[in-house]
Amino acid sequence: MGNSKSFFEFEAVVSSWDILLKGFAVAMFAATLATALAIILGLVVALMRLSTVAIYRWIAFAFTQFFRGVPLYVLLVWVYFGLAIAVNINLSAILAGVVTLALLNAGYLSETFRSGILAIDSGQIEAGLALGLSKQVVFKEIVLPQAFRIVIPPMGNQYVDAIKDSAILSIIGVPELMRESQQLANLYYQPFEFYTCAGLLYLIAVVLVSRGTNKLEKRFYTHSAQN
Amino acid sequence: MNRTTESYIEIINLSKSFGSHKVLDNINLTVNRGEVVAIIGPSGSGKSTLLRCLNFLTRSESGEIKFQNRSWSLNSEGKRYKGKKYEKSLSELRSEVGMVFQNFNVFPHKTAVQNVELGLIKVRKMTKNSAREIAIKKLEQVGLGDKINQYPDKLSGGQKQRVAIARALALEPRVMLFDEVTSSLDPELVGGILEEIRRLANTGITMLVVTHEMGFAFQVAHRIVFMDSGKIVEVGTPDEIRNSQEPRTRAFLSAIL
Ligand SMILES: Nc1ncnc2c1ncn2[C@@H]1O[C@H](COP(=O)(O)OP(=O)(O)OP(=O)(O)O)[C@@H](O)[C@H]1O
Ligand SMILES: [Mg+2]
């Protein structure tokens, strides 16, 4: 190759492959755990938002507004450094990252879930009540399964966002894909190669998640036409 | 037919408004056990609202509804029931009052048999096996024996409505409410569903049937209620209504027949 540097040097990337993959695994772990927590929390907040108890509605509304309104960067700093200073809660970097992503995504998902629940035809609810089912059973057996089907695509999108957003955990030193790429890039003076490689890994993850969501959606849509 | 003179449902001075719009205006009606009552009247006259008040899907603001002399509106001191406990107790009433809707409202994520067994399991607290047995029997009764494992999106409108009827009947209600159950069906499917209701009428179950099918109403009902603008204009046997001298009834019937 002579002494002119080629456009894309593979060697360093290939020899650091295990580090990159480990970083990728950390990123996927953080995003997946955060999304799982966000689904549970988001559902609770959505239910509070739809509650007849005013105080629940207000808390849920404030939660949603707050976590959708604050930039991820700021939220992360608050959770990691802020909590330690203010109330002496010292979270490890990875835990702080997961909590931050979970809170942010719960804010978005709560709105997704709320509109999914509200999208269910009131005739469905009335048919359940008319059978003598309690409101709780109507919710669990009739509303929730149908709402779930509606929110599969936006839930998938949220997961994709979480995967990409996890890159920002690098600022607090979580050894995820972005952080590892940064360090390798500096070590080998090859930012272009390493960041491209990281980008490709994120892309692969996103494509796989999208395909998974499509499959899930298809499975639930097979028998789902409203009446 | 097994009609009795025992008053079974009593509707007393029932009124309901949506905002300033009085949709039911002081309705009084008594239905006997085993009686089949058809409710007819122009669109917007309050037929559906009246039916929905009977299982409390719609809450009237004044008046009273009694089933077998038990008031479901007023407590022993004459105060209106309300609150969480009352809401819960309504489930008990609703499980005795079956309702079938114009747009079927079958549960799209459940198969035919799952639609029918849900109430048996959750309301009647049956085991899954005995619920399934009854559900299959009910579906066979409405001619869907070969469709028990189909999801609603694979069923025709008429078949969906049969599922809805089987679902309500599975709980063995004492009263059945039908709200224009053939109105969203293709014309060739209407007859079959009417036949289903006619058969039911002969079993002696108490029924209130809101319908635009006048021929059917006059054939099957013991009494016909004609409503207009939230009021009951006239109640009578099919013959009495057919020969009514009341101008509004005559106008409605001559327009529709
Ligand atoms: N939830 C509601 N909110 C406001 N207005 C309502 C509501 N439900 C019914 N109404 C009004 O009450 C009136 C009576 O409605 P209802 O559905 O009882 O009439 P109907 O006799 O069943 O008519 P149709 O033959 O068209 O079904 C109508 O003017 C309708 O617009
Ligand atoms: Mg109606």
Residue pLDDT, tens place only, B186-222: 888 899 899 989 999 889 899 999 999 999 999 999 9
Region of B225 please: left (phi>0), alpha (psi -120 to 50) or beta. beta
Per residue in B99-118, pLDDT (tens digit) is: 999 999 999 999 999 999 99
Whether residue B62 is contained in a domain is answered as yes
- State if residue B45 touches ligand 1 by the CB under 6 angstroms criterion: yes
pLDDT at B1 over 70: no
Using an 8 Å Cβ cutoff, are B187 and B201 in contact? no
DSSP secondary structure of B196-230: HHHHHHTTT-EEEEE-S-HHHHHHH-SEEEEEETT
Q: How far is CA A76 from the centre of its chain?
A: 14
Q: Which of B99, B101, B109 comes nearest A146 by C-beta?
A: B109
* Residues B208, B35: Cα–Cα separation, whole Å: 8
Here the tokens at position A70 are 């604050």
Is the minimum distance from the CB of B82 to ligand 1 under 6 angstroms? Answer: no
Total structural domains within chain B: 1
Tell me what pLDDT residue A227 has.
37
- Return the ligand 1 atom nearest residue B51 CA: 18
Nearest CA to ligand 1 atom 8: B49
Edge-to-edge strands of the sheet including B206-210?
B97-100, B175-179, B206-210, B36-40, B223-228, B231-236
| Contact in structure between A76 and A169 (CB atoms under 8 Å) | yes
- Strand pairing category for B7-18 and B62-67: antiparallel
The distance from CA B41 to its chain's CA centroid, rounded to whole angstroms, is: 16
Torsional class of A218: left (φ above 0), alpha (ψ -120 to 50), beta (otherwise): alpha
Q: pLDDT tier at B81 (50, 70, 90 boundaries)? A: confident
What's the A123 CA to ligand 1 centre distance in angstroms? 15
Mean pLDDT of chain A: 92
For residue B198, the CA-to-ligand 2 centroid distance in Å is 20
| CATH code of the domain in which A107 resides | 1.10.3720.10
Give me the half-sphere count of Cα atoms (radius 13 Å) on the Cβ side of residue B105.
25
Quick check: is B80 in a domain?
Answer: yes
Shortest CA distance from A148: residue in chain B: B109
Number of C-beta neighbours around residue A215 at 10 A:
11
Q: Closest ligand 1 atom to the C-alpha of B47? A: 21
Question: Looking at residue B174, which CATH number applies to its domain?
Answer: 3.40.50.300
Place of tokens 């600022």: A171
Which chain B residue has its CA at the smallest distance from A140's CA?
A: B122
Residue B118 CA, chain-centre distance (Å), reads 20
Q: Tell me, yes or no, whether A2 lies in a domain.
A: no
Q: Give φ, ψ of A209 to 5 degrees.
A: -60, -45
What letters, b where the CB count within 10 A reaches 16 and e where it falls short, cover B137-156?
Answer: ebbebbebeebbebbbbebe
Q: With beta carbons less than 8 A apart as the criterion, state whether B103 and A224 touch.
A: no
Q: Is the Cβ atom of B47 under 6 angstroms away from ligand 1?
A: yes
| Among candidate residues A204, A83, A130, the one with its CA nearest the CA of residue B91 | A130
What length is written for chain A?
227
CA nearest to B109, candidates A178, A34, A219: A219
- pLDDT for A34 beyond 60: yes
Query: Does residue A5 lie within any of the structural domains?
Result: no
Task: Kindly state whether residue A21 falls inside one of the protein's structural domains.
Answer: yes
Q: What is the mean pLDDT of residues B7-11?
A: 92
> Sheet holding B62-67: strands in order across?
B21-32, B7-18, B62-67, B70-71
The domain in which residue B110 lies consists of 7-256
Strand partners for B17: B22
Which residue owns the Cα nearest ligand 1 atom 31? B44
- Per the CB < 8 A criterion, the answer to whether B168 and B161 are in contact is no
Cβ distance A132 to B99 less than 8 Å, yes or no, reads no
Q: How confident is the model at residue B15 (pLDDT cuts 50, 70, 90)?
A: very high
Would you say residue A222 has pLDDT above 80? no
CA distance A138 to A140: 6
Selected residue with higher pLDDT from A83 and A224? A83
Which of the listed residues B24, B47, B52 should we mutate to test ligand 1's pocket, taking the one with most ligand atoms within 8 A of CB? Answer: B47
The sign of the dihedral angle between the CA atoms of A180, A181, A183, A187 is positive
Chain A nearest C-alpha distance from B105 (Å): 5
Under 8 Å between Cβ of A153 and A213: yes
Band of residue A225 on the pLDDT scale cut at 50, 70, 90: very low
Are B91 and A132 a contacting pair at CB < 8 A? yes
Distance CA A197, CA A21 (A): 10
Read off the pLDDT of residues B113-168 as tens digits, 9 standing for 90 and up. 999 999 999 999 999 999 999 999 999 999 999 999 999 999 999 999 999 999 99
Task: Reply yes or no on whether the pLDDT at A171 is more than 60.
Answer: yes
- Please tell me the predicted confidence (pLDDT) of residue A12: 87
Asked whether B211 lines ligand 1 (CB < 6 A), one says: no
Q: What pLDDT does A217 receive?
A: 86
pLDDT for the residue numbered B2? 59
* pLDDT score recorded for residue A2: 44
* Residue B1 in domain: no
Looking at residue A39, its pLDDT comes to 97
Residue A223's pLDDT is: 61
Whether the pLDDT of residue B13 is over 70: the answer is: yes
User: Quick check: B64 pLDDT over 70?
Assistant: yes
Q: How confident is the model at residue A71 (pLDDT cuts 50, 70, 90)?
A: very high
Amino acid in position A128: G
Mind listing the pLDDT tens digit for each residue in A103-116? 999 999 999 999 99
Residue B41 alpha carbon, nearest atom of ligand 1: 21
Whether the predicted pLDDT of A1 surpasses 50: no
In a domain, A47, yes or no: yes
Q: Look up the domain containing A79 and give its range.
A: 11-226
Looking at the domain assignment, is residue B2 inside a domain? no
Length of chain B in terms of residues written: 257
Pocket lining: B215 vs ligand 1, CB cutoff 6 Å: no
User: Which of B49, B179, B180, B256 maximizes ligand 1 atoms within 8 Å of its Cβ, making it the mutation to test the pocket?
Assistant: B49
A155-168 residue pLDDT tens: 999 999 999 999 99
A183 CA distance to ligand 2 centroid (A)?
Answer: 70
CA nearest neighbour of A105 among A148, A180, A164, A59: A164
| Total of domains in chain A | 1
**Do the beta carbons of residue B29 and residue B64 sit within 8 Å?**
no
Q: Are B115 and B107 in contact (CB under 8 A)?
A: yes
Give per-residue pLDDT as tens, A139-158: 999 999 999 999 999 999 99
- Residue B42, both tokens: 């122009």
